[in-house]
């Protein structure tokens, strides 16, 4: 939740500038629409904006951040929950190093005994209790129907996708990697879907298996 936080003693009516990360500012448009005298000022970080205005005793400025920033820097919340969308959440991931990576070879043999599919890279680690969501990345050849074929491996097994997006590959114009979240953990239908995806993709990488938020 976004809050307007200033140094102790500062009043909302005295504010002329409010600092925060550009994304946070954009998520609080209604606040600035109702307070046209206050200028939104981009800053590198939400909590950092609160630290900045309090450390510098800026009496006409505040920051937009979570409640923890007010506690951390001894600030005062002048107005709480100012975000436009009250159901807007930010998700964070805790990433750890893995000692090794196990590659499950999904290469299928054709009639001539030649390989025809990509391999899937999976992190060799214990699955978290209650893990029911998986994030993957994969690349396809630019051929008619390739995206349809890749997504059908999930539809055929009644696996629901919660996100799909593409990102360009650095140094390889007009080539993209697809990032997908699907709502299954490390179970047989998910493993079969990944094996099937490995038959149509150039590569498949499992980024993580974890409990859904």
Residues with catalytic function: 90, 92
Sheet holding 61-65, edge to edge: 39-42, 17-20, 61-65, 3-6, 76-79
Q: Which two tokens stand for residue 144?
A: 């008619």
Q: Which stretches does DSSP call E strand in 36-171?
A: 39-42, 61-65, 76-79, 101-104, 120-123, 133-139, 161-169
Question: Which residues on adjacent β-strands are paired with residue 115?
Answer: 109
Place of tokens 């390889």: 172
């Amino acid at each position: 939740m976004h809050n307007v936080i200033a140094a102790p003693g500062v009043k909302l009516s005295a504010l002329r500038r409010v600092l925060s990360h550009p994304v946070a500012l954009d998520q609080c448009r209604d606040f600035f629409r109702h307070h046209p005298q206050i200028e939104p000022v981009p800053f590198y970080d939400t909590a950092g904006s609160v630290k900045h205005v309090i450390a510098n005793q800026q009496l006409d400025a505040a920051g937009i951040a979570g409640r923890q920033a007010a506690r951390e820097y001894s600030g005062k919340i002048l107005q709480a929950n100012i975000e436009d969308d009250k159901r807007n959440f930010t998700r964070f991931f805790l990433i750890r190093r893995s000692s090794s990576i196990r590659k499950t070879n999904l290469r299928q043999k054709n009639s001539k005994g030649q390989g025809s599919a990509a391999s899937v890279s999976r992190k060799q680690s214990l699955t978290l209790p209650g893990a029911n969501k998986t994030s993957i990345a994969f690349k396809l050849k630019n051929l008619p129907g390739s995206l349809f074929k890749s997504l059908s491996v999930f539809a055929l097994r009644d696996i629901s996708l919660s996100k799909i997006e593409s990102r360009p590959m650095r140094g390889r114009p007009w080539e993209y990697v697809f990032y997908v979240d699907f709502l299954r953990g490390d179970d047989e239908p998910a493993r079969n879907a990944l094996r099937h995806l490995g038959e149509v993709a150039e590569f498949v990488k499992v980024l993580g298996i974890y409990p859904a938020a």
